[in-house]
């Protein structure tokens, strides 16, 4: 399964020090998650139809190297932890520059939100199967 998203750093992604601002890393990771879920058939239209959406409880960014304007980035998406039913999950993103240098690691913990009830919910069975096809990290753990 293709678990990568590629993008280019734009002027709007920069901070006063002329490198990529902290929140731009989170934006790239969010876009990577949406693109990879879409490839699994879990697109935004399906979520809208079911009135559910992903929600984050925690987002951790670890900065390793600078990223500047016009750099081409590759962001990976790997499941590091999940319940068997996909109701709670953790995903690791790694951000690589075009020269192959790892620039950042972004870890998120999340679940699914019922958009009408504004409460946590489970994925419908058909989406559980698709979600479980996400690439799993080498240190992946299934939780109860």
| Average pLDDT estimate for 100-129 | 96
End-to-end CA distance of the chain: 25
User: Model's pTM, two decimal places?
Assistant: 0.94
Distance CA 64, CA 62 (A): 6
State both tokens at 128. 């559980």
Closest CA to 72 of 7, 2, 22: 7
| CB-CB contact of 33 with 39 (8 Å) | no
What does the pLDDT look like over 53-110, one tens digit per residue? 999 999 999 999 999 999 999 999 999 999 999 999 999 999 999 999 999 999 999 9
β-strand 136-143 against 72-83: which pairing, if any? parallel
């Amino acid at each position: 399964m293709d678990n990568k998203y590629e993008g280019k750093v734009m002027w709007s992604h920069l901070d006063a020090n002329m490198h990529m601002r902290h929140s731009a890393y989170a934006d790239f990771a969010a876009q990577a998650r949406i693109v990879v879920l879409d490839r699994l058939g879990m697109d935004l239209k399906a979520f809208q139809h079911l009135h559910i959406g992903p929600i984050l409880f925690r987002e951790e960014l670890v900065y390793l190297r600078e990223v500047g304007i016009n750099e081409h980035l590759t962001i990976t998406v790997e499941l590091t932890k999940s319940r068997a039913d996909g109701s709670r999950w953790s995903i690791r993103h790694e951000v690589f520059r075009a020269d192959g240098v790892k620039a950042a690691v972004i870890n998120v913990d999340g679940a699914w939100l019922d958009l009408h009830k504004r409460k946590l919910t489970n994925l419908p069975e058909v989406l559980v199967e698709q979600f479980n096809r996400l690439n799993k990290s080498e240190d992946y753990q299934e939780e109860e």
